[in-house]
Structure 1
Amino acid sequence: MHGMGHLVEVFFLLLAAQLVGWLFARLKQPVVIGEVLAGLLVGPALLGLVHDGEILEFLAELGAIFLLFMVGLETRLRDILAVGKEAFLVAVLGVLFPFVGGYFFGLSIGFAQLPALFLGTALVATSVGITARVLLELGVLSRNYSRIILGAAVIDDVLGLIVLAVVNGVAQSGTFELAVALRITLLSVLFVGGAMLLVPWLRRVSLPRFTLGNPFGFALLVGVGLAALAAIIGLAPIVGAFLAGMLLAEVREELAIEEHVRAVGQFLTPIFFAMVGVRLELTALLSAKVWLVGSGVLLIALVGKLLGGFLGAWSQGFRRAVVVGVGMAPRGEVGLIVAALGLAAGAVNEEEYALVLFMVVGTTLLAPLFLRPAIAWAERAQASGGSP
């Protein structure tokens, strides 16, 4: 009976995501926003038909993994390396500006040093799943600005993880542990670098003999395996899934797996975005102080990533640099994890946690709204042969 209850919740989640997503598509708005609002509608905040739990949380994580796996299948390593310098600059500046801005803003409104550090850290990591969904919807994954965003997101996750390890270490022990930061950095570099070193080997071997007659099963093994390995190391599983997709992109014509992966993703990905809405705590967002101070945090979160992305991708031209900046703006589960860690460690209080929640919701809803017209603006210039 317990399992049947979960099945009913999945049905309501998919039904709401399908209907509200369809409505947003008809209104020419990002479907991902519709799916988030669908989760809010059926979640505890409103209708109460769906509640957060381990099983739905796991399905949502699988949805994020398959989304980035699909995106990876559209992205070859040589395309990422071609924009490697810009991706690195975008990631570094996109971490530096929000962290510094959030930290000093926290101090200016009366936060102690440790809560201010957690606030800055919560503003660091990009939730690339939201941007990737919009890029996939619009069919622009082959564009240089998309490759910069995706490459920067991988580097961004590594940098964000290092910052989080340092700040959390300070909260737990009161001291900066260099050994922890170095270990995480080394493991992250070895993981990403090792995956990239496999690409030349994949180009040389005949993969069908490794698939045992089941290319899709082999693809699932690689995708889930690298996502799990990333999680073991401490990286976000979506980084491993993206790298797995990028590896298999080298032989995607030979394996013919894209349609199968896309079919599974169409089932799981809406669950991921709808569960963002299910988890929203409206009561924490209704305070006038949270709205007032949270607007300042939201502004820093948006401007910090926009400025970092714009300056890092300046070589691509004005309009494409704007697209990169907007594409790096969404925050998501990483920001909430940072705030939750701070709450558990006693470094932040409920009100400070609510500010991070406000920022995550704001960037999740606003970034896709701005990203679509920004991409259309850049594409019009390219089509007309005008200024990029």
Structure 2
Amino acid sequence: MTNTQLGQILLAILLLLLGANLLGQLFRRLRQPKVVGEILAGILVGPTVLGKIAPGFAAEMFGGDKGDPSAVVLGFLYNLGLLMLMFVSGCAAKHLLGRQNRTATAWILGIGTPLPFLIALFAAPLLPLEDLTGTAGSEQAVVLVFAAATAVTSIPVITKIFYDLGILHTRFASLQLGSAVLEDIALWGVLSVATAIAGAALGATGDELTATIGGHIAVNAAYVIVALTVMPAVLRKLSRAEWNVVARNSPVAWMLIVFLGYVSLAAALDVTLAFAALLAGFGVMGGMKGTEQERFRDPMQSISDVSGHFFVPLYFAIVGYRLDLSKTFDPLMLVGFLVGTSLVVFLSVGLGAKLAGMSRLDIVNLAITQNARGGPGIVMASVAFDAGIINAIFYTTLVLTAVLTSQACGCWLDYVLRKGLPLLSGADLRRRGIEPAPEELSPQRG
């Protein structure tokens, strides 16, 4: 790589990172999710805007084809940003299933997640799937992605919205995040199956395809079970071992080694890498308690800060860069998917929340928040597009749906708080003879 090529790559990173952080901060000031500004930055320097104004400059900076050094480096940063986003999200999964939330979580998770997934699963074959299918040519995989994209909830985006609004300490936040973590684990498993189907679809017989999918499901299930049940305890013991000088003297390095180990093993086993990164975060922080948790809190915060200010904004900016709205935007598809899937999610989550004993405002708050598809919606779309499951038009539709539903969530919760209304009225707790905490009925922004 020449100095000129290196300089072009660094300039491309500079433009993406600067734009993502500037527009991200602007959108935060406008009470909008930061991720929307980060994606918009990529759209502005991508083929939609800069590519039309100065196509030669854009191609020189960002690479004209997959073999170009700029394209290779940006592709690596895109994937690393995705993995770091999922790793940090997994680390946040340790405080989520509080005792007061278990009944409500069970209802919302038992109905609010599987019902929209099943409705979409049965409705998808009635749609013109050939208009959504990517280069792999597998309509079965498209159906699974369609259903998963309908039911997914964004852990990173709603966590960021809760943080920006100062309500991470509330029962509402822990209830939403608890159900979202369990839901997304299941949906990432579905996406891994879809990826296996797409990978085996080219030239595979029916028996070969069945064997491939069966083996893939078995490997993924084993990976998930071990990662959720065995590895947190193993990692806790390893982090406390006297001989583990890395964990004792450089906790940041230890956590990143665990992250890279999970992802490398997942690659060898053909497990979806983004899902593996999520489980790595859960494994490295999920089993820690007391003083050990305190010891790793600052290192985890350091990783989160670097990821949140460098790798993750770059990832979302490159997501925006990859969108060519002049060629891959279908407004009818966007409106149909956005409105149809949102109605299904609202009805499903509303039914679960109603059965849990929630009030009308509780149901609205939960449904709008559960419909925010943000980061995972974009990640799922990216993984499915890269695997050739979906085409560029449906990829654009999924990304824009994730952005719009996240915006709606941020705006609505901000409105509720400004009106002084409760996020959860506590009606479900009173039915069980539990009086909700006063701060939950009138939450103060942290």
The TM-score, its normalising length taken from structure 2, stands at 0.72
Shift of 1:106: 1.8
Select between 290-299 and 11-20 the one with higher mean Cα deviation.
Answer: 290-299
1:371 match: 409
1:254 match: 295
1:10-32 Cα offsets, whole Å, 9 max, x none, are 10111111111111111111110
- Distance, in Å, in 2 between the alignment partners of 1:304 and 1:54 is 39
SS at structure 2 position matched to 1:75: helix
Shift of 1:86: 5.0
Show structure 2 runs of 5+ residues with no match: 52-57, 64-70, 430-446
Q: Which of residues 372, 377, 383 is equivalent to 1:327?
A: 372
- Distance, in Å, in 2 between the alignment partners of 1:242 and 1:178 is 27
Aligned length: 375
Matches within 5 A, 1:276-291: 276-285=319-328, 290-291=330-331
- Distance, in Å, in 1 between the alignment partners of 2:107 and 2:311 is 33
Work out the percentage of aligned pairs sharing the same amino acid. 22
2:335 match: 295
1:31-64 Cα offsets, whole Å, 9 max, x none, are 1001000110112321244536221122122222
Shift of 1:161: 2.2
- Distance, in Å, in 1 between the alignment partners of 2:131 and 2:313 is 38
1:101 match: 123
Letter in 1 for 2:232: V
The TM-score, its normalising length taken from structure 1, stands at 0.81
Aligned pair 1:18/2:18, yes or no? no
SS at structure 2 position matched to 1:55: helix
Select between 1-10 and 293-302 the one with higher mean Cα deviation.
Answer: 293-302
1:156-190 Cα offsets, whole Å, 9 max, x none, are 01022224434664564363632222211111111
- Distance, in Å, in 2 between the alignment partners of 1:155 and 1:27 is 34
| Contact preservation (8 Å) 2:94, 2:282 | yes
Q: 1:309 to 1:62 in 2, by over 3 A?
A: farther
Letter in 2 for 1:226: Y
Select between 75-84 and 248-257 the one with higher mean Cα deviation.
Answer: 75-84
Letter in 1 for 2:62: H
| Contact preservation (8 Å) 1:17, 1:38 | yes
2:204 match: 173
Q: 1:222 to 1:299 in 2, by over 3 A?
A: same
Shift of 1:221: 0.6
Q: Which of residues 295, 307, 312 is equivalent to 1:269?
A: 312
Matches within 5 A, 1:140-179: 140=168, 143-166=174-197, 169-170=200-201, 172-173=203-204, 175=206, 177-179=209-211
Select between 324-333 and 219-228 the one with higher mean Cα deviation.
Answer: 324-333
Q: 1:309 to 1:168 in 2, by over 3 A?
A: farther
Aligned pair 1:38/2:70, yes or no? no
- Distance, in Å, in 2 between the alignment partners of 1:382 and 1:130 is 18
Q: Which of residues 68, 76, 81 is equivalent to 1:63?
A: 81
2:257 match: 221
Show structure 1 runs of 5+ residues with no match: none
2:281 match: 245
Aligned pair 1:199/2:232, yes or no? yes
1:234-256 Cα offsets, whole Å, 9 max, x none, are 33323222222222223331323
Q: 1:130 to 1:13 in 2, by over 3 A?
A: farther
| Contact preservation (8 Å) 1:230, 1:237 | yes
1:185-232 Cα offsets, whole Å, 9 max, x none, are 111111111112223445566626321511110011112221333344
Aligned pair 1:123/2:146, yes or no? yes
- Distance, in Å, in 1 between the alignment partners of 2:232 and 2:365 is 28
1:184 match: 216
| Contact preservation (8 Å) 1:40, 1:274 | yes
Letter in 2 for 1:218: W
Larger Rg: 2
Shift of 1:384: 5.7
CA RMSD of aligned residues (A): 3.6
- Distance, in Å, in 2 between the alignment partners of 1:357 and 1:59 is 20
1:131-162 Cα offsets, whole Å, 9 max, x none, are 41331342338612112112211110102222
SS at structure 1 position matched to 2:400: helix
1:57-112 Cα offsets, whole Å, 9 max, x none, are 2212222222222222222287399557854655543432223323212279999x
1:283-331 Cα offsets, whole Å, 9 max, x none, are 3235xxx323443234344444555555566655424641453134763
